[in-house]
């Protein structure tokens, strides 16, 4: 009887220990607000609507880790984006359209495989004070002549990604498999990143390239989009932050037509007025090049936000933006919507809760 009791205690202890070595976290963010935008259709009408993800895109996910010993962990992450106003997935019906990966983490850093954000996104996003706002940020991609979206690769499937931090230096790399038989370059993606922190100054640089699908008419050549990012942030004090960023974008076409080129510049400041109130302002400017008729948009956008913390996890905010393009080209305050005029103004008041 004593032996049976001892065995039961040992088995129970081992089970508890094994459970203690693993953990799964459920997390998420819900963000919505009421927005007014002018030039919202061909008639130049304004629209008032309930908008999802105005300060940050809404999402929920599961993050887990298992301690394997010796400083090594098995890790995974599943994350889904959704629209608060309709309840729909925001990735064309894909359940885990933001993240679905598994990997290992240790003193060497972390390496994951599956669907994830790219190295460029991971390294450059912290230098956008508007925080990847769906409506009022152009850091990931900006409105350009002809509705082009010149920008970085933000998220991709079929990738292997590495990231490691060593003192003040951070390094990262992404490779995305094209998964086309007979041609490993067809539809493949690449990204490299490096960051450095010294005192109040943070710096980052990133390079990425995305190959399009092969075009048989051009001897199976493919479009190639390349972007180079440079960014910096200065934490002047506990309350003041200043940032600057730059992107060089080039798309080489399989048809051998003129390259699509642009330069994006952004910069701004964040000021924490009180522990509860924060003010943010940022300017974006995109210089479009190689437009055949010379009538490029060269759009500029000014964005601002006031944020009030109701708690550590819940914020109220009021954001506004004004975008303007040259040569009667179309422009919009959203990174996704071109707009229906050569200028657009948007204002949104909303609430965000994190769990």
Tens of pLDDT, residues 234-274: 999 999 999 999 999 999 999 988 899 999 999 999 999 99
Q: What phi-psi label fits residue 352: left (phi over 0), alpha (psi between -120 and 50 degrees) or beta?
A: beta
User: pTM surpassing 0.85?
Assistant: yes
208 sits in which H/E element:
strand 201-211
Q: How many whole angstroms separate alpha carbon 120 and alpha carbon 130?
A: 17
Which pLDDT does position 94 carry in this prediction? 86
Which pLDDT does position 21 carry in this prediction? 62
Whether the pLDDT of residue 19 is over 60: the answer is no
pLDDT > 70 fraction of the chain, expressed in percent and rounded: 93
Residue 172 neighbours by CB distance under 10 Å? 23
Q: How confident is the model at residue 216 (pLDDT cuts 50, 70, 90)?
A: confident
Whether the pLDDT of residue 11 is over 50: the answer is no
Query: What burial class does residue 256 get, using C-beta atoms within 10 Å of its C-beta: 0-12 exposed, 13-18 middle, 19+ buried?
Result: exposed
Which pLDDT does position 22 carry in this prediction? 79
Tens of pLDDT, residues 86-135: 999 887 778 999 999 999 999 999 999 999 999 999 999 999 999 878 78
Please, where are the H alpha helices in the chain?
Answer: 2-21, 119-124
Which pLDDT does position 13 carry in this prediction? 37
* DSSP classification of residue 221: B
Q: How many whole angstroms separate alpha carbon 22 and alpha carbon 71?
A: 14
Q: How confident is the model at residue 1 (pLDDT cuts 50, 70, 90)?
A: very low
Q: How many whole angstroms separate alpha carbon 115 and alpha carbon 119?
A: 12
Q: How confident is the model at residue 7 (pLDDT cuts 50, 70, 90)?
A: very low
Which pLDDT does position 267 carry in this prediction? 98
Whether the pLDDT of residue 66 is over 70: the answer is yes
Tens of pLDDT, residues 143-196: 777 777 899 999 999 999 999 999 999 999 999 999 999 999 999 999 999 999
Which pLDDT does position 170 carry in this prediction? 98
Q: Please tell me the CATH code under which domain 25-354 is placed.
A: 2.40.160.10
**Any idea of the CA torsion for 300, 83, 150, 245, to the nearest 10 degrees?**
60
Whether the pLDDT of residue 20 is over 60: the answer is no
Q: How many whole angstroms separate alpha carbon 133 and alpha carbon 57?
A: 7
Q: How many whole angstroms separate alpha carbon 65 and alpha carbon 72?
A: 10
């Amino acid at each position: 009887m004593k032996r049976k009791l001892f065995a039961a205690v040992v088995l129970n202890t081992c089970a508890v220990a094994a459970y203690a070595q693993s953990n799964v976290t459920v997390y998420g963010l819900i963000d919505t607000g009421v927005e007014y935008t002018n030039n919202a259709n061909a008639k130049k009408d304004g629209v008032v609507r309930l908008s999802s993800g105005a300060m940050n895109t809404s999402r929920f996910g599961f993050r887990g880790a298992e301690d394997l010993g010796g400083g090594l962990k098995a890790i995974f992450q599943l994350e889904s984006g959704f629209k608060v106003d309709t309840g729909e997935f925001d990735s064309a019906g894909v359940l885990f359209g933001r993240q679905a990966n598994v990997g290992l983490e240790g003193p060497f850093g972390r390496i994951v495989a599956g669907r994830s954000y790219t190295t460029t996104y991971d390294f450059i996003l912290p230098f956008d004070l508007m925080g990847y706002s769906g409506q009022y940020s152009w850091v990931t991609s900006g409105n350009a002549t002809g509705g082009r979206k010149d920008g970085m690769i933000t998220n991709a499937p079929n990738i292997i990604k590495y990231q490691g931090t060593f003192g003040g230096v951070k390094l990262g790399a992404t490779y995305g498999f094209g998964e086309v038989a007979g041609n490993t370059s067809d539809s493949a993606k690449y990204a490299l990143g490096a960051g450095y922190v010294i005192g109040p100054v943070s710096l980052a640089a990133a390079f990425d390239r995305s190959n399009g699908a092969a075009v048989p008419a051009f001897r199976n050549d493919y479009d190639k989009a390349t972007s180079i990012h440079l960014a910096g942030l200065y934490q002047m004090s506990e309350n003041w932050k200043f940032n600057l960023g730059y992107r060089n974008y080039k798309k080489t076409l399989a048809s051998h037509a003129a390259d699509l080129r642009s330069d994006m510049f952004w910069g701004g400041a964040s000021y924490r007025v009180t522990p509860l109130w924060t003010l943010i302002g940022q300017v974006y400017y995109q210089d479009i090049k190689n437009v055949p008729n010379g009538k490029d948009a060269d759009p500029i956008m000014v964005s601002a936000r006031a944020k009030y913390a109701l708690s550590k996890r819940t914020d109220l905010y009021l954001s506004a933006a004004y975008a303007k393009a040259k040569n009667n080209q179309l422009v919009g305050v959203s990174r996704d919507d071109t707009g229906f005029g050569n200028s657009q103004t948007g204002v949104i008041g909303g609430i965000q809760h994190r769990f």
